[in-house]
Amino acid sequence: MSTSSVSLLTRELSFAPYDVKWIPCSSRVCTVGATNHGTGKIAVYNLVGKQLELKTETETNAAVRCATITGQTRSLATGDFEGQLQLWDTQRFDIPLISFKAHESIINSIDSYNQPKEPQELVTGSRDGTVKVWDVRQPENAVLTIKSKESTDIWAVAYGQLKGEKVIAVGYENGDIKLFHVNGSQYLWELHVKDGICSIEFNHDKILASTLSGAYVIDIATGKTSEIQSPTTLWSVRHIPQQSQHEANQRTCSFQASHHLCRLEQG
């Protein structure tokens, strides 16, 4: 099954974007990426009418590959090309609140687990073939490390829940998608799509995965997929959090790094 998408707005960027996140309870989006001279860029835009207006930005020493919003503080956690994990205040980007070496190679993906009355955690996936879970209260030592049996590059990770249990979705460069049960320390299922997984996220009972040639909506319980076709690589696709469950399943925000564009899509 294929689903078409309609572009709602587009903004040209001065850098190659690798990730995008909606900042909760606001009309702001945060983008991270790399400049032409190899440094990183973090930029926050306001959604005003049918335009994205730049609110604030900063440049970092290393290109930034991924980002996630953490907890009620709405801090920004980022992973870069040198394997560093950093935590930022979204109101000011002069220096990171936390910065340390988390992986031996580039951190391709990062996500946060934000549930009431539970420890705030981060999960990262790297080219070094590992998925690591971090407790934000003591962030410099991983509380869980998942090592792939194969030396496959991990491109995407996401935290979610299945029947009230904590799970992690992992996407690989070869198109594999696996669901890991955290407490049970085992993979529950896996499937394969035709291209590498650029981003992955949970939305109610669905998983949304973007690839080098489009995206897939995956039913968590059955593994049934619906394809969203795209003429270019979708480096990152996100649901709009302000929408209802039905609308959120139909509306996404995507970035096209190859064209230095920010595009909001309904699809």
Q: Which residues sit opposite 214 in a β-bridge?
A: 211, 229
Residue 15 token pair: 């850098």
Please tell me the predicted confidence (pLDDT) of residue 262.
Answer: 58
Between CA 240 and CA 16 the distance in angstroms is 22
Q: Tell me phi and psi for residue 257, to 5 degrees.
A: -65, -30
pLDDT tens digit string along 162-201? 888 899 999 999 999 999 988 888 888 889 998 899 889 8
pLDDT at 22 over 60: yes
Which residues, in sequence order, are CB contacts of 182 under 8 Å at separation 6+? 133, 144, 165, 166, 167, 168
The parent domain of residue 111 ranges over: 16-147
| CATH code of residue 53 | 2.130.10.10
Instruction: Let me know if residue 158 belongs to a domain.
Output: no
**Domain contains 37:** yes
The model's pLDDT over 219-258, given as tens digits with 9 standing for 90+, comes to 888 778 888 877 777 777 767 655 544 444 444 555 444 4
Question: Is 227 inside a domain boundary?
Answer: no
Q: How far apart are CA 111 and CA 180, in angstroms?
A: 14
Global pTM value: 0.83
Is 95 inside a domain boundary?
yes
28 inside domain: yes
99-151 pLDDT per residue, tens: 999 999 999 999 998 777 777 899 999 999 999 999 988 878 899 999 877 76
Strand order in the sheet with 251-256: 6-12, 261-266, 251-256, 236-239
Asked if residue 132 belongs to a domain, the reply is: yes
Q: Within a domain: residue 2?
A: no
Q: Report the number of distinct structural domains present in the chain.
A: 1
pLDDT (tens digit, 9 = 90+) per residue, 51-84? Answer: 888 999 999 999 999 999 987 667 899 999 999 9
Q: Does residue 36 belong to any structural domain of this protein?
A: yes
